[in-house]
Structure 1
Amino acid sequence: MSENQIKYTEENIKTLEWKEHIRLRPGMYIGKLGDGSSPDDGIYILLKEIIDNSIDEFVMGAGKTIEVTINDRTVTVRDYGRGIPLGKTVDVVSKINTGAKYDSQAFKKSVGLNGVGAKAVNALSSFFKVQSIRDGKTKWAEFERGNLKFESQIEDTTLRRGTRIIFTPDDTIFKNFKFVDEYVERMMWNYAYLNAGLTIIYNGQTIRSENGLKDLLTHTIDSPILHEIIHLKGDDIEIAITHSERSQSEIYHSFVNGQHTTQGGTHQAALREAMIKTIREFYNKNFDTADIRQSVIAAISLKVIEPVFESQTKTKLGSTEMGPGMPSIRAYVNDFVKKELDNYLHRNPEVADAILRKIVAAEKERKELAGIQKLARERAKKVSLHNKKLRDCRIHLTDVKDERCFESTLFITEGDSASGSITKARDVNTQAVFSLKGKPLNCYGLTKKVVYENEEFNLLQAALDIEESIENLRYNRVVIATDADVDGMHIRLLLITFFLQFFPELVRENHLYILQTPLFRVRNRKETIYCYSEEEKFEALRKLGNKAEITRFKGLGEISPDEFRHFIGKDIRLEPVLIGKDQTIDEILEFYMGKNTPARQEFIIGNLKIEKGENPLDLNDHQSVELIEEQL
């Protein structure tokens, strides 16, 4: 061992300023960075940290309205709470270990107990402004990447009391980022569901809930339900339960102290356990767990004193107790459900009868599928020993103690050439590849039996580990990586249909994406630019000159592994697959994958784009449209 390797002196010890530490290790404070394509990307954590402070004011009885505006990349959050004490306006956003949340009596059931939230936003923003208004006085300060640039004096004002925060995430840290409106709107609605009576005005839209988690299920369920929503409320707990009439999967929305625990945790596990126990006792029958849980759609919100989470981004609750000296979460939830759900079922026999019929039907279906499931699992187990379809990675979403678990990605590719390029270029720690052979089956309108009978679907289900529940999902991002041609688009459509038909919660929970790869490479002797659109190609030509060489990529297999590293690395471009709020999954599948209709033909004609150099279709000839219909 060399002298340099063993040298360890005072010079090796460094003390970083608060902002330097946050900027050097942002993952410790906000999880992953990302570009905004995923709902757990850092820019949304920044937004949440600021809004959480305004929510705490509402919870304390100060301020019933929060205004949130996002203009391109700049966020403004204005509340009408008590306002930051004017003498501490600068300190609370720039000094670690400064804040009111250390007073556990005032904020004992708050999520942000580390006093770092606003400081992290400040440090990770290219522009940050804080303004406090209280007692007819105001003060504000402006920062740049955590450095104080301006601090006002305390002045008189006629503005209503409260706090205004304006920030722009630093684009040197969050590369090519953009806020996805659907993600932000869903976050705002979750705040409203969890805080009945709160009004949030997001970009001019008023968001408000009077019925809490009951409204959450009412607004988010996009298929018929079997019975009315069971809504149960206690001092520190709220639960809403129903069953889907068509979907077989379980869907849970869980929250702790206002934090959306997307990966569940002890409270969600306790709810599932309590429902099974209560239903068995109510009907006095030892139903199979799977039959009881099939098609359940439920939400739970719990308030816990000083909760402990299993990751920095607080997506999975790890606490086992309601608080110091209080009962366990398991016992608390179980006692509440046993009493309240049992009482509800006795008072509402029509709901009890509907649930019983659903359980009996699930049992019958399970027994009919048992034989084919056994054969499929045996085949998958046998194949997995020599399975060349899946090139797995080392870190998965279930490894919650590793902060890289949120980077876990499965690329679904078509053919050996594309999968070969991605496999050679991928990060073996967090990126896996599943290779399809040809076009998958169009499974619209088919039963889940086809998942077990079709080898590729069965292996894909096994690779994702979502047969039992999405809670076991092994990858945070499932990315469809197909060629940018007609066949590639068709495969993309068939895969989306598969997930929407059998695993819609994978899409609802924002795990499904489309990989954006460049359409063109423009280069001269000095520089190479990859372009994702015609506009970017023209911009590249303006920069490199019209004599630059242009290459059009039509298949992923044409892109070398060395080039592919650019497109699946830190600058990866992903397009999330989102379900429009005005359409149900049934409506989407019927329109795109159902029987041919005039409406769909009109849609195809109105949206058809012909690329220069390709054989154009005669748009007046409906035979052309029928060719596309056959592809669909």
Structure 2
Amino acid sequence: MSKEKQNKAERYGNTSIKSLKGAERVRLRPAVIFGSDGIEGCQHSFFEILSNSIDEAREGFGKVIEVTRFKDRSIMVKDYGRGIPLDYNENEKRYNWELVFCELYAGGKYKNNSGENYEFSLGLNGLGSCATQYSSEYMDVTVFRDGMRYDLHFEKGENVGGLKKQKWDYESTGTIIKWRPDLEVFTDINIPLEYYTEVLRKQAVVNAGLKFILYDEESDRVFEYCYENGIVDYIKEVSGDKAFTDIQYYETSTRGRDREDKPEYKLKMQIAFCFNNEVNLLEYYHNSSFLEYGGAPDKAVKNAFVYVIDKFLKSQGKYNKDESRITFQDIQDSLILVSNSFSTITSYENQTKKSITNKFIQEAMTEFLKEKLEVYFIENKVECTKILEQVLVNKRSRETAEKTRVNIKKKLSGNVDISNRVKKFVDCRSKDVNKREIYIVEGDSALGSCKLARDAEFQAIIPVRGKILNCLKADYDSIFKNEIIVDLLKVLGCGVEIKSKHNRELSTFDLNNLRWSKIIICTDADVDGYQIRTLILAMLYRLVPTLIQVGKVFIAESPLFEIRTKDKTYFAYTDKEKNEIVSKLKGKYTILRSKGLGENDPDMMWQTTMNPETRRLIQVVPDDIKKTEEFFDLFLGDNLPGRKSYIEEHGHKYLDMIDVM
């Protein structure tokens, strides 16, 4: 054994084993308690304090919870409950404030001699208040109860000054906790406003009638959330007037155990749902905690809905011969469902409470839902038929979309080279993506002119032959049978962004695979040229919208007029520019209406359209995405009444542009 190794062996003895004590248990290992030492862990520390106020309100003490987000990232939670007991505890022979704020696995939610406090609790593990206190730069606690005001102050996990207590004439009992998460514990404490609004909205959903008020000092805004009828009101809000069934609401209570040798516990379930063709949503809550990953309730919902709907599809002969059975995805595409369950014993996947694993909860919820769904389908034949038919439509649409995705991958895979040629595509020499430009030009004649005029080092060209398919009206199957579109996508190299029904992506898109720094649309300055340009933009907007959003798409302006004098030629891109140029000329001049791109000589093409020093490029940027969508739909989509109405109202403004004799 080497000397160094021997020294190490001697140093590793009985005194080497150490335990973390007090605040160190959280401050040095926050991820063990909060799941992360980053922003997610910091957010969870806030939720632990909020949970205690929610538990108190759900027991019937207080109907309002106030949260304040301060500019310096400190947080305050105020409730109007009974107030946390902080005085001396005869049973434990210690002060309650020490148990609550300085002792992990202590609290008022464990079973005691008087029965069960907090039958259905968010914060049953007794970690929250203490762990959050330990992980704070400071924490101030104020409690009003028993005719007294109690105050505590902590710094970096240590109490400073003990418990202060004085008689107080208050309007309401309650607890106020203000603290600042510690940057020595968390790598990031800047909890975004969106987190608070989302969490408080969700808690209002599952705690019917409880009002949450958020004060944001940074934006000087106030947010209020309250759903008097809980998950039913929430589903009404989400669904709007687009649902094609009524909202169903089921509620029950039962008792059971996860294993024969485990204790029996109480379970309460609330489930609401409706079917909607434009919006879909699945949200699961347990003891008010949002279950991001679901667990037992998610499995129950999937099992019950697939079982019942598949059963009715079979019994009514809705499946085609040899057709595969539905999956839950086909149901989910049109389903808005929220479950809100409570249990006196809960097995969370971990302390962050994003999933529960109780076997009894899964089995009880599955059987309850199956029973209720079967009754619903039998008693509501009209709605039953609508649901079955829509689920089959979703299923067949999914299968078609999957085939389309596979076909697209085949068509767009591989490099554009000798073995995978694109007709009439002219590449450039440079392999530097930051320099390469692709010109999409109108027809073979423009290809010839641009090819002669370009800088072959970094400028490539691909022609489009005639007016391409209107991608806003065509289905994906038609689009990807179109040779021109497939060729354009091959040349771009970044794949496509396909979104099937309800935003389920079947995308092959990867911006990192884009082969060009600029995509330049170059068409004639006439009505036909404008229409071709619009159709190319519609194609990019439908199939690769990210390229527009990140500013990769440009339009090359072509001059409308060529003004010749004895010594020089001028180019004007508008009537106003033409008049300005003409007003400054002294001698004779000739004005020529600019010809199509294919008729321009190479020098003119280089100077006006391709030379980075003198060309005019318009970057295509959707300043208002909603407005862009509306106008694309109006002019190129299926909105025929809207198009007619728009032309009737605004058509007179464009009379001089109509290309008729």
Same fold (TM over 0.5): yes
Code of the residue aligned with 1:365 in structure 2: it is: S
Distance 1:501 1:363, change over 3 A: farther
Is the 2:35–2:352 contact (alpha carbons within 8 Å) kept by the matching residues of 1?
A: yes
Is the 2:242–2:278 contact (alpha carbons within 8 Å) kept by the matching residues of 1?
A: yes
Where structure 1 has 5 or more consecutive residues not aligned to the other structure, the ranges are: 36-40, 323-328, 384-414, 419-441, 503-513, 515-586, 599-632
Equivalent position of 2:339 in the other structure:
300
CA deviation after TM superposition for structure 1 residue 140, in Å: 1.2
* 2:131 is the alignment partner of 1:93: no
Code of the residue aligned with 1:311 in structure 2: it is: N
Instruction: Tell me how far apart the structure 1 counterparts of residues 365 and 18 of structure 2 sit (CA, whole Å).
Output: 47
Is the 2:495–2:510 contact (alpha carbons within 8 Å) kept by the matching residues of 1?
A: no
Equivalent position of 2:294 in the other structure:
264
* 2:639 is the alignment partner of 1:591: no
Distance 1:33 1:356, change over 3 A: same
Equivalent position of 2:365 in the other structure:
333
Equivalent position of 1:102 in the other structure:
110
Instruction: Tell me how far apart the structure 2 counterparts of residues 261 and 161 of structure 1 sit (CA, whole Å).
Output: 31
Equivalent position of 1:539 in the other structure:
none
Mapping for residues 159-308 of structure 1, pairs under 5 Å: 159=170, 160-175=172-187, 177-203=189-215, 204-221=222-239, 224-235=242-253, 236-246=268-278, 251-283=281-313, 284-285=315-316, 287-289=325-327, 290-308=329-347
- Secondary structure of 1:240's counterpart equals strand
Instruction: Tell me how far apart the structure 2 counterparts of residues 480 and 118 of structure 1 sit (CA, whole Å).
Output: 45
Instruction: Tell me how far apart the structure 1 counterparts of residues 237 and 83 of structure 2 sit (CA, whole Å).
Output: 33
Code of the residue aligned with 2:338 in structure 1: it is: A
Is the 1:451–1:458 contact (alpha carbons within 8 Å) kept by the matching residues of 2?
A: no
Instruction: Tell me how far apart the structure 1 counterparts of residues 497 and 8 of structure 2 sit (CA, whole Å).
Output: 47
Between 1:262-271 and 1:88-97, the stretch displaced more is 88-97
Is the 1:255–1:301 contact (alpha carbons within 8 Å) kept by the matching residues of 2?
A: yes
Instruction: Tell me how far apart the structure 2 counterparts of residues 443 and 147 of structure 1 sit (CA, whole Å).
Output: 65
> Over residues 423-479 of structure 1, what are the superposed CA-to-partner deviations in whole Å (9 max), with x where a residue is unaligned?
xxxxxxxxxxxxxxxxxxx99787676799878787989xxxx99999999xxxx99
Which of 370, 376, 390 is the equivalent residue of 1:344? 376
Instruction: Tell me how far apart the structure 1 counterparts of residues 50 and 187 of structure 2 sit (CA, whole Å).
Output: 23
CA deviation after TM superposition for structure 1 residue 240, in Å: 2.2
Identify which of structures 1 and 2 has the higher relative contact order when contacts are C-alpha pairs closer than 8 Å and 6+ apart: 1
* 2:145 is the alignment partner of 1:134: yes
- Secondary structure of 1:96's counterpart equals coil
Equivalent position of 1:79 in the other structure:
79
Distance 1:482 1:131, change over 3 A: farther
- Secondary structure of 2:177's counterpart equals strand
Instruction: Tell me how far apart the structure 2 counterparts of residues 21 and 499 of structure 1 sit (CA, whole Å).
Output: 52
- Secondary structure of 1:196's counterpart equals coil
The percentage of aligned residue pairs carrying the same residue is: 24
CA deviation after TM superposition for structure 1 residue 42, in Å: 2.4
Instruction: Tell me how far apart the structure 1 counterparts of residues 136 and 512 of structure 2 sit (CA, whole Å).
Output: 33
Equivalent position of 2:616 in the other structure:
none
Which of 3, 11, 16 is the equivalent residue of 1:12? 16
* 2:23 is the alignment partner of 1:23: no
Aligned length: 440
Instruction: Tell me how far apart the structure 2 counterparts of residues 65 and 499 of structure 1 sit (CA, whole Å).
Output: 48
Instruction: Tell me how far apart the structure 2 counterparts of residues 3 and 346 of structure 1 sit (CA, whole Å).
Output: 79
Instruction: Tell me how far apart the structure 1 counterparts of residues 311 and 501 of structure 2 sit (CA, whole Å).
Output: 24
Instruction: Tell me how far apart the structure 2 counterparts of residues 154 and 499 of structure 1 sit (CA, whole Å).
Output: 67
* 2:112 is the alignment partner of 1:112: no
Distance 1:471 1:445, change over 3 A: closer
- Secondary structure of 1:128's counterpart equals strand
Instruction: Tell me how far apart the structure 1 counterparts of residues 79 and 348 of structure 2 sit (CA, whole Å).
Output: 27
TM (normalized to structure 2)? 0.57
Is the 1:79–1:163 contact (alpha carbons within 8 Å) kept by the matching residues of 2?
A: yes
- Secondary structure of 2:360's counterpart equals coil
Is the 2:197–2:214 contact (alpha carbons within 8 Å) kept by the matching residues of 1?
A: yes
CA deviation after TM superposition for structure 1 residue 253, in Å: 0.8
Equivalent position of 1:3 in the other structure:
6
Distance 1:590 1:265, change over 3 A: same
- Secondary structure of 1:288's counterpart equals coil
> Over residues 565-619 of structure 1, what are the superposed CA-to-partner deviations in whole Å (9 max), with x where a residue is unaligned?
xxxxxxxxxxxxxxxxxxxxxx985424442699xxxxxxxxxxxxxxxxxxxxx
CA deviation after TM superposition for structure 1 residue 320, in Å: 1.8
Where structure 2 has 5 or more consecutive residues not aligned to the other structure, the ranges are: 88-95, 216-221, 254-267, 320-324, 416-431, 436-469, 520-536, 551-622, 635-661
Mapping for residues 499-518 of structure 1, pairs under 5 Å: none
Code of the residue aligned with 1:89 in structure 2: it is: W
Equivalent position of 2:350 in the other structure:
311
CA deviation after TM superposition for structure 1 residue 22, in Å: 0.4
CA deviation after TM superposition for structure 1 residue 212, in Å: 1.7
Q: Which has the larger radius of gyration?
A: 2
Code of the residue aligned with 2:67 in structure 1: it is: V
CA deviation after TM superposition for structure 1 residue 376, in Å: 5.3
CA deviation after TM superposition for structure 1 residue 299, in Å: 1.6
CA deviation after TM superposition for structure 1 residue 121, in Å: 1.0
Equivalent position of 2:169 in the other structure:
158
Is the 1:93–1:119 contact (alpha carbons within 8 Å) kept by the matching residues of 2?
A: yes
Instruction: Tell me how far apart the structure 1 counterparts of residues 274 and 495 of structure 2 sit (CA, whole Å).
Output: 29
Code of the residue aligned with 1:3 in structure 2: it is: Q
Instruction: Tell me how far apart the structure 2 counterparts of residues 451 and 46 of structure 1 sit (CA, whole Å).
Output: 50
TM (normalized to structure 1)? 0.59
CA deviation after TM superposition for structure 1 residue 49, in Å: 0.4
Is the 1:380–1:459 contact (alpha carbons within 8 Å) kept by the matching residues of 2?
A: no
Is the 1:67–1:78 contact (alpha carbons within 8 Å) kept by the matching residues of 2?
A: yes
Instruction: Tell me how far apart the structure 2 counterparts of residues 270 and 226 of structure 1 sit (CA, whole Å).
Output: 24
> Over residues 80-112 of structure 1, what are the superposed CA-to-partner deviations in whole Å (9 max), with x where a residue is unaligned?
112111311343111223211222832453232
- Secondary structure of 2:339's counterpart equals strand
Is the 2:33–2:131 contact (alpha carbons within 8 Å) kept by the matching residues of 1?
A: yes
CA deviation after TM superposition for structure 1 residue 47, in Å: 1.6
Code of the residue aligned with 2:326 in structure 1: it is: D
Code of the residue aligned with 1:261 in structure 2: it is: L
Is the 2:75–2:180 contact (alpha carbons within 8 Å) kept by the matching residues of 1?
A: yes
Is the 1:90–1:141 contact (alpha carbons within 8 Å) kept by the matching residues of 2?
A: no
